[in-house]
Amino acid sequence: MTSTMESPNASSVGTGEAATLEGFLSGIATRAFRFAETGLRHREDARDVVQDAMTKMLAYRDRPASEWTPLFWSILRSRIVDAQRRGVLRLRWLSPHGDEQQSVDWTDPGADPSRSHEGQEAWQHIVAALRRLPRRQREAFGLRIFEELDVATTARAMGCSEGAVKTHLSRAREALQKQLEDFR
């Protein structure tokens, strides 16, 4: 499954439902990894959690394709919370040998160096601001804004009411706006 996470998004995930569960998982892998990495702050742990969530999804192969999206995000979110609770990640994050200096390179490789640097710098500020958010606000923001899930699907994935999703999202936006206003 590791090779699946490095493949580009399948076009069927963003425009409609994937024909197979494998197609769905390959299309959502990159976004799931980014979501997990933001929550866990460690690339290897994020890969492990995403792979675990994808493996768990295989048990739900017979479910209708319309249920896959909220089910997957719910499983992934649960795996992230479990990993955070174990505390192993916090120790690794604080160790001097951690890879915190390693930046995530999601910018366009064809851009000129100054634009590439500006894009990386902007993304680093956004990720840092997201990491300072409380977990539920970060989850609501990631699922609603980055994954473009609707409120009802986000609520099912997070295991809360639609009103709670709206509240978490509103608070996340306010906090991010305050944290990023100096960067503009």
Q: Reduce the secondary structure of 111-150 to three states and give it as a string.
A: CCHHHHHHHHHHHHHHHHHHHHCCHHHHHHHHHHHHCCCC
Calculate ∠ Cα 8-9-10, nearest 5°: 115
Q: What is the pLDDT of residue 145?
A: 86
Q: What is the pLDDT of residue 86?
A: 72
- Compute the average pLDDT of residues 92-110: 48
Question: Is the model's pLDDT at 11 over the cut of 70?
Answer: no
3-class secondary structure, 43? helix
Among 14-23, 35-44, 102-111, 127-136, the range scoring the smallest mean pLDDT is 102-111
Report the alpha-carbon distance of residue 135 to residue 39 in Å, rounded. Answer: 8
Q: What is the pLDDT of residues 41-66, one digit of tens each?
A: 888 889 999 999 999 999 999 999 99
- Compute the average pLDDT of residues 74-103: 65
- Compute the average pLDDT of residues 86-105: 50
Q: What is the pLDDT of residue 114?
A: 57
Q: What is the pLDDT of residue 170?
A: 93
Question: Is the model's pLDDT at 184 over the cut of 70?
Answer: no
Q: What is the pLDDT of residue 123?
A: 77
Calculate ∠ Cα 90-160-37, nearest 5°: 30
Q: In 20-67, which ranges are continuous DSSP H helix?
A: 21-40, 43-57
- Reading the block at residue 24, the tokens are 């769905």
